[in-house]
């Protein structure tokens, strides 16, 4: 059940767990056109959210992410933000002096019009035909949304320059909260999430794409805890508010100690994990 936007698939589905790597995936597997109709202009749109505090928190987070990115990859790498949303991260990079920027999303939000100096695409073939190649392709909470995972990841690998990499973040299906929270586990995000990898599962899948998983780290993020508790709250009180509520930002603060604890217990794979993929 989708307790965030209340979308429903045409057919009932379950999440199945791989007994080898613990990754989760929807069964039956959804088609791309079935899921794309669920993504509207308000989908995780923190630019125009009705919760001002959430918009502020997101803006601060984007600036922190941008600063860490430029420190790691330099001041002007060629970057594709694959799943760029409203373009907040790319605007931060542009303000920092980056000039080789591109964004991709299936929904080209109105906010992208105000992002100068950046090329935006809604079709991977358009990127390939443009001739653009990238030092870094960023996939922050995107890989779990793909319906054509293998084809997409193979295509993205083909857009890398020599020595380039794909960096991303995704929920960790092997984390203990996925079992503890059950159907309320926020990162399930049904029906939008098609596959939730574990680090082991991503390592097994990467060679199919001509890539190799070279690093994983566990970020300190309370979002998994906060989303799970918000799901429970919406269910208990039968709330129908679309998107994340004002209570969500409060829950993030309250559950930060749990996120810190997770980072000490499982430093390479908390409830989410960052990954680096390079050409094998």
Does 4 map to a domain?
no
Number of folded domains that form the chain: 1
DSSP tag of 75: S
Does 228 map to a domain?
yes
Q: Model confidence over 35-84: pLDDT tens digits?
A: 989 988 888 877 766 677 777 888 898 999 999 999 999 989 999 999 99
CATH number of 267's domain: 3.40.50.150
Does 3 map to a domain?
no
Q: Which domain holds residue 20?
A: 14-279
Q: Model confidence over 95-138: pLDDT tens digits?
A: 999 999 999 998 777 777 666 679 999 999 999 999 999 999 99
DSSP readout, 113-174?
GG-TTEEEES-HHHHHHHT--EEEEEEET-GGG-SSHHHHHHHHHTTEEEEEEEEEEEE-TT
Average pLDDT over residues 135-161: 98
Does 6 map to a domain?
no
CB of 215 within 8 A of CB of 277? Answer: no
Average pLDDT over residues 175-202: 96
- Alpha carbon distances (Å) from 71 to 66, 93, 176: 9, 11, 32
Does 84 map to a domain?
yes
Question: Which residue bears the tokens 């709330």?
Answer: 239
Does 7 map to a domain?
no
Does 2 map to a domain?
no
Does 5 map to a domain?
no
């Amino acid at each position: 059940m989708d307790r965030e936007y209340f979308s429903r698939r045409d057919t009932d589905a379950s999440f199945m767990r791989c007994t080898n790597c613990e990754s989760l995936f929807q069964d039956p597997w959804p088609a791309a056109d079935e899921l794309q109709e669920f993504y509207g202009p308000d989908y995780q749109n923190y630019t125009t959210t009705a919760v001002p505090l959430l918009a502020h928190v997101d803006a601060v987070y984007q600036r922190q992410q941008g600063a860490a990115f430029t420190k790691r990859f330099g001041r002007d790498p060629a970057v594709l933000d694959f799943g760029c949303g409203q373009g907040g991260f790319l605007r931060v990079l542009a303000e920092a002096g980056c000039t080789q920027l591109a964004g991709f999303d299936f929904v080209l939000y109105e906010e992208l019009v105000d992002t100068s100096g950046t090329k935006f695409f809604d079709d991977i073939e358009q990127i390939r035909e443009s001739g653009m190649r990238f030092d870094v392709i960023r996939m922050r909470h995107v890989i779990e949304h793909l319906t054509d995972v293998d084809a997409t990841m193979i295509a993205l690998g083909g857009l890398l320059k020599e020595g380039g990499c794909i960096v991303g973040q995704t929920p960790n299906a092997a984390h203990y909260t996925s079992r503890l929270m059950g159907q309320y586990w926020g990162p399930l995000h049904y029906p939008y999430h098609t596959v939730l990898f574990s680090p082991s599962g991503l390592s097994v899948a990467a060679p199919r794409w001509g890539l190799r998983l070279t690093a994983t780290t566990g970020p300190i993020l309370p979002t998994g805890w906060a989303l799970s508790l918000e799901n429970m709250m919406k269910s208990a009180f039968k709330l129908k508010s679309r998107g994340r509520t004002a209570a969500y930002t409060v829950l993030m603060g309250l559950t930060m100690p749990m996120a810190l604890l997770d980072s000490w217990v499982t430093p390479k794979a908390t409830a989410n994990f960052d990954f680096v993929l390079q050409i094998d």
